[in-house]
Amino acid sequence: MASSKKKKLTPVQQEYQELAKKREPKRPAFINSLKAFFVGGLICLIGEAIQQIFIHWGGFDEKKAGNPTVAVLIIISTILTSIGVYDKIAQWSGAGTSVPVTGFANAMASAAIEHRRDGVVLGIGGSIFKVAGPVIVFGTLAAFLVGIAYIIFDPNLVGG
């Protein structure tokens, strides 16, 4: 068990835990880390390429190219999720696909696809906000706390 404080195991349960631990296949942590690193890096590289396209051919400056880049990454992630490709990539690479924008879009699209038969409002809308709700709440809270800290610690902001 993860914590010895949770529950005392009987001798039979302890024996079973030891047997299960011996039988558990060894995970190739180094290989899994490399897969995650390269797939996450590839997603970021694709994002950078999209941003450079917006800068060079779209007439955006570097700061303004960020929003359409994020939108394109979300669209690509959602399309790949809807045709079942993103999940296969995620299964192979592990944490490499959890790059925040594409991973979040995948989580929302997966929830919507899974519950679409329950209707638009209760199925798709409700499932999406089960995933998005905590992110929005804690993101807003974090932004508020960072804003307060910025006001407290920036002497130029308060005139001191």
Residue given tokens 């001191």 in the structure block: 160
81: exposed, middle or buried (C-beta count within 10 Å: 0-12, 13-18, 19+)?
buried
Residue 1: what pLDDT? Answer: 45
The tokens for 145 are 């706390």
Domain spans, the chain: 36-153
pLDDT digits (tens, 9 = 90+) for 47-92: 999 999 999 999 999 999 999 999 999 999 999 999 999 999 999 9
Write the single-letter amino acid at 140.
T
Report the predicted TM-score, pTM, of the whole model to 2 decimal places.
0.68
Cβ–Cβ under 8 Å, residues 74 and 43? no
